[in-house]
Amino acid sequence: MRWIFYSLLVINVVYLGVQLTKNLAEPSVVAGIPLPHAEGGTPLVLLAEQPQSRREARQAVASGSLCPVIGPWESESSAQAGVVQLRAAGVAARVRGLSIEKDRLSWVYLPPYGSRERALVVLQELQDRGVDSFIVKEGDDANAISLGYFSSEESAEGLRVKMRNAGYPAFVRETSKVVTEYWAYLVDSSAEEKPEVKVFLEANQSLKLDRVSCD
């Protein structure tokens, strides 16, 4: 009978070893949910990281970043009158003023002299040479001598070189005039598609429909 006892003991030991080996080979499970594998598994992708979601987000930002506007008017009162016409046609709008740089020119000049007397002496020399010039009377450039404004950079540079060759330290600076333009911002971004807007623009040929930053 002793051999039967030892046989059963050996069988139990072998069975226990087989079960332990099988458990170690199976994937880990927590609360019935398999844990993700470190390698070879499907990576987790956030919704915002999916290509389609990123594309849709960009489109949403782009569509809300620009607003339709009509203009420009030179005066606020004229712009307000235009807004009244638009509202009468069923198009809501509001007036906003925008500072615009216009009339960009290249200024050729001699830097400010230490005194007006010295500037007058140089001015007389230039005029004796037939150079059209005048003294700047006020501001940061007071006592400087203006030699002219040019829309062409090449023309301004040509005069600068000519004056330097004649012994005068001429410089070129870009200047502009800041003006305020008034525009009608359409409250409804889809209003630009309305036929009333087209009719309004046809009746006001000096105005145009454009898109600018809503901010």
Do 129 and 165 belong to one domain?
yes
Is 124 domain-assigned? Answer: yes
Is 79 domain-assigned? Answer: yes
Do 150 and 123 belong to one domain?
yes
Do 122 and 161 belong to one domain?
yes
- Pair 185, 114: CB distance under 8 Å: no
More confident residue, 101 or 160: 160
Long-range (24+ apart) CB contacts under 8 A made by 17-25 are none
pLDDT at residue 61 greater than cutoff 70: no
- Pair 148, 108: CB distance under 8 Å: yes
At 192 the pLDDT is: 85
Flag whether the pTM goes above 0.85.
no
Do 168 and 209 belong to one domain?
no
Is 88 domain-assigned? Answer: yes
Highest mean pLDDT among 27-41, 50-64, 119-133: 119-133
At 65 the pLDDT is: 75
**Measured distance CA(113)–CA(169) in Å, rounded:** 11
**Measured distance CA(207)–CA(182) in Å, rounded:** 11
Q: What residues make up the domain containing 123?
A: 102-177
Query: Is the backbone peptide bond immediately before 72 cis, with ω within 30 degrees of 0?
Result: yes
